[in-house]
C-alpha cells in the first residue's frame, strides 16, 4: 500500500463507486437483453456483484494504514473536544507550556555550558593538562580566569610528554582598544603558536598562528575572533594586514578564526588572540621566565589510542622531574616543598573548560530540579482536570464499552487527547524557553564580565523537550484514561452523574493528587524563601564599608610611559585633579576595593614565629578609610609623614588585633611579612586599628586584614586604583572625572565601577537563585491553589444533594462551610506534613547557597506553611460558601 493511495483514498473510493455502478449497468443491460423484466434484471445484477458498500469498504481499508488512520481520527476527535471546552484547553496548554518551557530553558543552559563538545576537530581527543593535585596549595601570582600552569612549566610539559601529539597553552587577558581615556576592553587570549593547529581550527580570513609566530622577541601579531570581526569591522576581509591597537601597542592582524570557534573557555568568546611571546610588551617585568606566575591553561590532543587516564598516568610519572626543574628561586623553603609535592595530570576536555560551569553548575542542577517539580505539579493539576473530564464522560465511555469498543482502544483515544495537549504545550514551551534562556544569560551578563553562551537549540534540546512532553502526557493522561475505562457499565449507565454521593474511592486519587501538589509546592516555596532570605541577609549585612556613592576608577598609566621616578608625582597630580572635580568629596588610592576581585595574601612573622595561616593585605593611600566610611577604632590614619624613607607602618583590622594580640594593646606592636627569597623583610609597626571589612566575598566571615601605606610603597606600578566618594554616581560624574584625568595625560586608560554594582555582581548567583526560585515557587503555589479549588468545587457540585439533605435536616450555612473547609484543611495538612519533611531534605542539597540560615530553618518553614495554608484555605472558601447557598428544595428536586 503506497502512501499516495493513503492520502487520496477518498478519491479512490469515489472512483471505485463509479466503477461498480458501471458494472451494474452492464450486467442489467445483459440481463434485459436476455429478456428479464427490469426489476428482476436489477436484483440479479446486484446478486451477482455482492454488496457494493462492502466491496468499497474492503478497498478503503486496503488503502489505509490502520494505526495512522485511527490516530488521526483520535487526534481530530481530541481537537474537537478541546475546541468545545476552550477554557480547559487554554489552562492545560498554558500550564504545560510554562512547565516545559522552564525545563527546556534550564536544560538549554545545561546543554550549552556542560554537554556540548567544542566546535573543533575531533573534540573527544582533547584533554586538559593541569596541576591535578596540590596538597599544600600553590604559591605565586595568579592571573586570568584559568591560572593552571606557568609558562616554564608548560614548556617543560610540552617537551617531555609522550602521550599527546602536541600540547598547546592559552590564557585569558583583557586589552584596551581605546587609545586613551575611558577604556574599551577586549577579551583577549594568550595562545601558544601551536594552539590553533592542536585544536584543528581553520581561518575564516587570512591565516592563523603557526609555531613561527610564537618565538622569543616575536613581532606583535593578532588573530581576531569571528564575532568581534563582525561587530567591530562588519566582517571586512581587508582588516587582514591592517593593525589593531591593544593597550596602546600596534598589532598586525594576520587573520580571523572560524565562525563557530569561540575559544576553549565555554561561556566566554575571545575577541582577539595574541601569541604568548608578546607578553613582555604588557608587563614591566616579563612573566615568561617566572614559574610562580600562574596564567595559562594547557590543552593537548591525545595520540590515537591513548585515553586521558593513561595520559594522566604518564604525566604523573614525569611530574617530579618537571617540577624539580622549574622550582621558583623566589620560593622560600616551605613553598618550594609544596611545589614539589604537586602532581601534573590530564582531564578529558571534549566539552571545553569552563569557569562558568564551575560557578553555575550546581545552580543549574538545582534549577533543573525546581523546574521539574513545577512541571510535576502542573501535571498533577492536569491529571485532576482530566479526571474530572473523564467522570463527566463516564456515560459516553460506558456506551462505547457496551457496544464493543475495547478498553485499549478507548484508552488510546483518551491518551491522544492528552498527547495533543502535550504537543501544543511543548511547542509553546520551546518558544517560551528561547526567550527565557536568553533573558537568563542577559541577567548574568555585565559590562565587565561579558558572557557568551551558544543557545541555538540542538537535537539534544529538542529531544529533551519531546521526552518531557511525552512523560508529562503519560503522567497526566494515562491514569485518568485507565480509570475511566474501569467503570462498572451498569452503574455508570444508571447513575449518570446523579448519585447522591460519590464513591469515596473515586475521590481518593484526586485527593492524593492535591496532597502531592501541596507538598511539592511547599518544597518549592521553602526553597524560594531560603534563597530569598539568604540574599536578603547578604544585601543587608554590614560589610564594614560604605556601598553607596562610592566609585572606583582603575587607571592604566603604561601607555604614558612615565619613568618610575616620577610616577609618584604624576599619581599625586592625578589625585589632586580628581579631588578638584565638583561633586567629589574624597578620593584615595588603593590596591583593591573590598569585594573588588583583586586579592593579596601572605604569611606573617609575629614575634619571630611564622604564622600558619595567611592574612589578607591591602595597600591604601590617605583618605581611604574616610572614603569608604571605615572607622579607625584606635591609633591614627596614614599621614603625610609616612614616606618610603620613614619607618614602615600598618593599620590592622579588629579581627587581626583579636587574633594576634588578644588582650594586649595592639597599637605599637610589630610584625614582618614572609616575603619571597631575595626581597627585604622590613619590620612594620602597627599605628592604628580599623573596623572590620569584608575582603573578597560578602559570604566570608571577617578575617584579619592588614592595610599598608601606599605612600610608603617604594615601587609604585603603572596601575592606579582610586576610590572616589561623590555626591552622585552618574555618567556626568564619570565624564567629568575622565576629563580631569586625561588633562594630566591623554593616553591614560580608565574604567569605572560603582562599588554598589560591584557588590551586586558578586551576588549575581544568589540573585539568580532567589529570583528564579521565587518565580517558580509562586507559580507552583498558584497551580496548587487552582488544583485545590478545582477539587473542592467539583466535590461541592457532586455532593449538592447530600448538602441539600443535610441542610433540610437542620444544618446551617456555617456548619456546611465548616464541613467543606475542613475537607480542604485535611488535604492541606497532609500536604504540608509530607512537604515539610521533603523540603528539609531538599534544602540540604542547596546548603552551599544559603547564607545566615540553616536548611531546616524553622522560621522559614513556618512562613512557607502559613503562606501556603492561607492561600489554599482562601481558595476553598469560595466553593464552601457556594455549598452553603445550596437551596435544599432545589437540590432535592433534582434527585
Partner 1 sequence: MRLHKIIFWSMPRRGRPPIEGDMLQGTLDVLVLKTLALGPAHGHTVAHAIEHRSEDVLQVEHGSLYPALHRLEDRGWIASFWGTSEKNRRARYYRLTPKGRKQLEAQTNRWDAIVRAVNRILRPASE
Interacting residue ranges for partner 1, rule: CB under 8 A: 1-2, 5, 12, 15-16, 18-20, 22-23, 25-27, 29, 48-52, 54-55, 58-59, 62
Cβ distance to partner 1 smaller for residue 46 or 88: 46
Cβ distance to partner 1 smaller for residue 4 or 136: 4
Cβ distance to partner 1 smaller for residue 62 or 541: 62
Cβ distance to partner 1 smaller for residue 50 or 210: 50
The rounded radius of gyration (Å) of the Cα atoms in the chain is 38
| Least distance in angstroms from the C-beta of 403 to partner 1 | 19
What Cα–Cα distance (Å) separates residue 694 from each residue in 215, 546, 631, 759?
Answer: 43, 11, 14, 11
Q: CA 483, CA 411: separation in Å to the nearest integer?
A: 9
Q: CA 584, CA 571: separation in Å to the nearest integer?
A: 17
Q: CA 480, CA 486: separation in Å to the nearest integer?
A: 10
Cβ distance to partner 1 smaller for residue 62 or 732: 62
> If we measure between CA atoms, which residue out of 816, 817, 334, 748 comes closest to residue 573?
748
| Least distance in angstroms from the C-beta of 62 to partner 1 | 6
Coil/strand/helix, residue 22: helix
| Least distance in angstroms from the C-beta of 880 to partner 1 | 59
| Least distance in angstroms from the C-beta of 69 to partner 1 | 17
Query: Across-strand partners of 206?
Result: 255
DSSP 353: B
- Contact partners, residue 608, CB within 8 Å, separation at least 6: none
Bin 749: left if φ > 0, else alpha if -120 < ψ < 50, else beta: beta
Q: CA 886, CA 804: separation in Å to the nearest integer?
A: 6
Query: Could you give the count of Cα atoms lying within 13 Å of 370 in the half-sphere of its Cβ?
Result: 31
Task: List, edge to edge, every strand of the sheet that includes 749-754.
Answer: 181-182, 749-754, 550-556, 719-726, 584-589
- Strand 550-556 and strand 584-589: the pairing is unpaired
Q: CA 85, CA 417: separation in Å to the nearest integer?
A: 13
> If we measure between CA atoms, which residue out of 71, 110, 104 comes closest to residue 466?
104
Cβ distance to partner 1 smaller for residue 65 or 890: 65
| Least distance in angstroms from the C-beta of 19 to partner 1 | 5
| Least distance in angstroms from the C-beta of 420 to partner 1 | 32
Q: CA 244, CA 236: separation in Å to the nearest integer?
A: 14
Do 741 and 578 form a contact (C-beta atoms < 8 A)?
Answer: yes
Q: CA 859, CA 840: separation in Å to the nearest integer?
A: 12
Burial pattern 232-267, b for ≥16 Cβ within 10 A else e, equals: bbeeeeebbeeebbbbbbebebbbbbbeebbbbbbb
| Least distance in angstroms from the C-beta of 14 to partner 1 | 12
| Least distance in angstroms from the C-beta of 50 to partner 1 | 3
| Least distance in angstroms from the C-beta of 400 to partner 1 | 24
CA dihedral 789, 793, 799, 801 (to 10 degrees): 150
C-beta atoms surrounding 441 within 10 Å: 16
The DSSP code sequence of 742-791 is: HHH-TT-EEEEEEHHHHHHHHTHHHHHHHHHHHHHHHHHHHHHHHHHHHH
Q: CA 566, CA 561: separation in Å to the nearest integer?
A: 11
Cβ distance to partner 1 smaller for residue 23 or 877: 23
Cβ distance to partner 1 smaller for residue 56 or 138: 56
Instruction: Copy the grid coordinates of residue 17.
Output: 463507486
Instruction: Copy the grid coordinates of residue 711.
Output: 605612600
Report the greatest alpha carbon distance in the chain: 141
| Least distance in angstroms from the C-beta of 3 to partner 1 | 12
Cβ distance to partner 1 smaller for residue 3 or 67: 3
| Least distance in angstroms from the C-beta of 410 to partner 1 | 25
Cβ distance to partner 1 smaller for residue 19 or 802: 19
Coil/strand/helix, residue 245: strand
Cβ distance to partner 1 smaller for residue 51 or 566: 51
| Least distance in angstroms from the C-beta of 55 to partner 1 | 5
Q: CA 397, CA 105: separation in Å to the nearest integer?
A: 39
Cβ distance to partner 1 smaller for residue 12 or 775: 12
Cβ distance to partner 1 smaller for residue 46 or 775: 46
| Least distance in angstroms from the C-beta of 26 to partner 1 | 4
Cβ distance to partner 1 smaller for residue 23 or 142: 23
Do 59 and 16 form a contact (C-beta atoms < 8 A)?
Answer: yes
Cβ distance to partner 1 smaller for residue 16 or 138: 16
Q: CA 895, CA 179: separation in Å to the nearest integer?
A: 89
Do 674 and 610 form a contact (C-beta atoms < 8 A)?
Answer: yes
| Least distance in angstroms from the C-beta of 436 to partner 1 | 50
| Least distance in angstroms from the C-beta of 413 to partner 1 | 25
Q: CA 495, CA 890: separation in Å to the nearest integer?
A: 19
Cβ distance to partner 1 smaller for residue 29 or 862: 29
Residue 97 parent element (H or E):
helix 86-110
| Least distance in angstroms from the C-beta of 15 to partner 1 | 8
Cβ distance to partner 1 smaller for residue 11 or 443: 11
Do 421 and 473 form a contact (C-beta atoms < 8 A)?
Answer: yes
Residue 558 parent element (H or E):
none
| Least distance in angstroms from the C-beta of 406 to partner 1 | 19
Instruction: Copy the grid coordinates of residue 781.
Output: 503555589
| Least distance in angstroms from the C-beta of 1 to partner 1 | 7
Residues in the chain: 895
Do 93 and 424 form a contact (C-beta atoms < 8 A)?
Answer: yes
Cβ distance to partner 1 smaller for residue 62 or 94: 62
> If we measure between CA atoms, which residue out of 229, 228, 173, 223 comes closest to residue 202?
223
Amino acid at each position: 500500500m503506497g502512501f499516495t493511495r493513503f492520502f487520496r483514498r477518498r478519491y479512490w473510493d469515489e472512483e471505485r463507486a463509479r466503477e461498480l455502478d458501471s458494472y451494474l449497468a452492464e450486467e442489467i443491460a445483459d440481463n434485459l437483453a436476455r429478456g428479464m423484466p427490469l426489476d428482476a434484471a436489477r436484483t440479479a445484477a446486484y446478486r451477482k456483484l455482492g454488496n457494493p458498500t462492502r466491496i468499497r469498504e474492503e478497498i478503503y481499508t486496503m488503502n489505509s494504514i490502520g494505526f495512522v488512520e485511527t490516530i488521526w481520527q483520535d487526534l481530530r476527535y481530541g481537537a474537537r473536544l478541546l475546541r468545545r471546552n476552550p477554557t480547559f484547553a487554554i489552562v492545560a496548554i498554558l500550564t504545560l507550556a510554562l512547565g516545559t518551557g522552564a525545563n527546556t530553558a534550564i536544560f538549554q543552559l545545561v546543554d550549552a555550558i556542560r554537554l556540548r563538545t567544542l566546535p573543533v576537530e575531533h573534540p573527544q581527543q582533547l584533554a586538559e593538562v593541569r596541576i591535578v593535585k596540590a596538597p599544600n596549595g600553590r604559591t605565586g601570582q595568579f592571573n586570568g580566569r584559568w591560572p593552571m600552569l606557568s609558562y616554564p612549566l608548560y614548556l617543560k610539559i610540552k617537551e617531555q610528554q609522550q602521550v599527546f601529539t602536541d600540547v598547546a597553552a592559552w590564557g585569558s587577558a583583557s586589552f584596551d582598544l581605546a587609545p586613551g581615556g575611558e577604556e574599551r576592553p577586549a577579551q583577549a587570549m594568550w595562545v601558544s603558536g601551536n594552539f590553533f593547529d592542536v585544536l584543528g581550527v581553520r581561518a575564516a580570513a587570512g591565516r592563523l598562528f603557526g609555531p613561527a609566530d610564537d618565538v622569543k622577541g616575536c613581532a606583535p601579531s593578532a588573530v581576531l575572533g569571528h564575532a568581534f570581526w563582525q561587530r567591530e569591522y562588519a566582517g571586512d576581509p581587508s582588516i587582514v594586514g591592517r593593525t589593531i591597537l591593544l593597550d596602546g601597542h600596534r598589532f598586525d592582524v594576520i587573520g580571523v578564526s572560524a565562525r563557530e570557534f569561540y575559544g576553549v573557555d565555554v561561556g566566554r568568546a575571545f575577541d582577539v588572540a595574541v601569541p604568548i611571546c608578546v607578553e613582555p610588551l604588557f608587563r614591566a617585568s616579563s612573566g615568561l621566565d617566572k614559574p610562580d606566575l600562574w596564567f595559562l591553561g594547557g590543552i593537548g590532543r591525545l595520540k590515537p589510542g591513548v585515553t586521558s587516564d593513561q595520559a594522566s598516568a604518564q604525566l604523573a610519572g614525569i611530574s617530579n622531574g618537571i617540577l624539580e626543574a622549574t622550582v621558583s628561586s623566589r620560593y622560600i623553603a616551605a613553598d618550594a616543598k609544596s611545589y614539589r609535592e604537586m602532581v601534573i595530570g590530564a582531564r578529558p576536555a571534549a566539552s571545553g573548560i569552563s569557569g562558568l560551569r564551575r560557578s553555575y553548575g550546581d545552580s543549574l542542577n538545582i534549577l533543573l530540579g525546581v523546574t521539574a517539580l513545577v512541571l510535576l505539579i502542573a501535571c498533577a493539576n492536569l491529571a485532576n482536570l482530566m479526571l474530572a473530564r473523564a467522570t463527566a464522560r463516564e456515560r459516553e465511555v460506558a456506551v462505547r464499552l457496551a457496544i464493543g469498543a475495547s478498553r485499549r482502544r478507548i484508552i488510546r483515544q483518551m491518551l491522544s487527547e492528552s498527547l495533543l495537549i502535550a504537543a501544543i504545550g511543548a511547542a509553546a514551551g520551546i518558544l517560551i524557553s528561547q526567550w527565557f534562556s536568553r533573558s537568563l544569560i542577559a541577567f548574568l551578563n555585565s559590562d565587565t564580565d561579558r558572557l557568551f553562551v551558544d543557545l541555538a537549540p540542538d537535537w539534544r534540546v529538542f529531544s529533551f523537550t519531546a521526552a518531557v512532553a511525552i512523560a508529562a502526557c503519560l503522567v497526566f493522561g494515562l491514569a485518568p484514561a485507565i480509570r475511566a475505562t474501569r467503570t462498572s457499565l451498569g452503574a455508570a449507565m444508571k447513575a449518570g452523574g446523579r448519585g447522591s454521593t460519590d464513591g469515596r474511592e473515586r475521590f481518593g486519587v484526586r485527593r492524593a493528587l492535591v496532597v502531592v501538589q501541596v507538598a511539592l509546592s511547599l518544597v518549592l516555596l521553602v526553597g524560594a524563601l531560603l534563597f530569598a532570605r539568604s540574599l536578603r541577609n547578604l544585601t543587608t549585612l554590614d560589610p564594614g564599608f560604605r556601598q553607596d556613592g562610592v566609585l572606583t576608577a582603575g587607571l592604566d598609566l603604561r601607555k604614558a610611559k612615565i619613568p618610575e621616578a616620577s610616577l609618584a608625582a604624576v599619581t599625586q597630580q592625578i589625585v589632586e585633579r580628581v579631588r578638584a572635580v565638583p561633586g567629589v568629596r574624597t578620593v584615595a588610592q588603593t590596591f583593591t576595593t573590598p569585594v573588588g576581585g583583586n586579592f593579596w595574601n601572605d604569611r606573617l612573622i609575629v614575634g619571630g614565629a611564622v604564622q600558619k595561616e595567611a592574612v589578607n593585605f591591602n595597600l591604601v593611600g590617605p583618605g581611604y578609610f574616610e572614603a569608604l566610611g571605615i572607622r579607625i577604632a584606635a591609633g591614627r590614619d596614614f599621614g603625610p609623614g609616612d614616606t618610603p624613607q620613614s619607618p614602615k607602618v600598618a593599620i590592622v583590622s579588629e579581627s587581626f588585633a583579636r587574633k594576634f594580640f588578644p588582650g594586649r594593646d595592639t597599637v605599637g606592636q610589630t610584625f614582618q611579612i614572609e616575603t619571597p627569597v631575595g626581597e627585604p623583610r622590613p619590620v612594620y609597626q602597627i599605628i592604628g586599628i580599623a573596623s572590620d571589612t569584608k575582603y573578597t566575598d560578602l559570604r566570608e566571615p571577617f578575617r584579619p586584614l592588614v592595610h599598608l601605606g601606599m605612600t610608603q610603597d617604594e615601587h609604585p606600578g603603572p596601575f592606579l586604583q582610586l576610590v572616589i566618594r561623590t555626591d552622585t554616581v552618574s555618567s556626568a560624574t564619570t565624564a567629568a572625572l575622565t576629563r580631569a584625568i586625561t588633562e594630566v595625560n591623554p593616553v591614560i586608560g580608565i574604567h569605572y565601577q560603582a562599588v554598589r554594582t560591584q557588590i551586586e555582581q558578586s551576588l549575581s548567583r544568589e540573585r539568580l537563585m532567589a529570583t528564579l526560585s521565587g518565580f517558580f515557587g509562586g507559580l507552583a503555589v498558584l497551580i496548587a491553589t487552582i488544583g485545590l479549588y478545582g477539587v473542592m468545587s467539583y466535590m461541592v457540585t457532586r455532593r449538592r444533594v447530600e448538602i441539600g439533605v443535610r441542610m433540610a435536616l437542620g444544618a446551617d450555612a456555617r456548619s456546611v462551610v465548616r464541613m467543606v473547609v475542613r475537607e480542604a484543611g485535611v488535604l492541606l495538612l497532609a500536604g504540608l506534613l509530607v512537604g515539610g519533611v521533603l523540603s528539609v531534605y531538599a534544602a540540604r542539597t542547596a546548603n552551599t547557597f544559603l547564607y545566615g540560615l540553616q536548611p531546616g530553618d524553622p522560621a522559614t518553614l513556618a512562613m512557607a506553611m502559613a503562606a501556603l495554608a492561607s492561600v489554599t484555605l482562601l481558595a476553598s472558601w469560595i466553593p464552601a460558601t457556594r455549598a452553603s447557598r445550596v437551596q435544599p428544595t432545589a437540590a432535592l428536586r433534582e434527585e
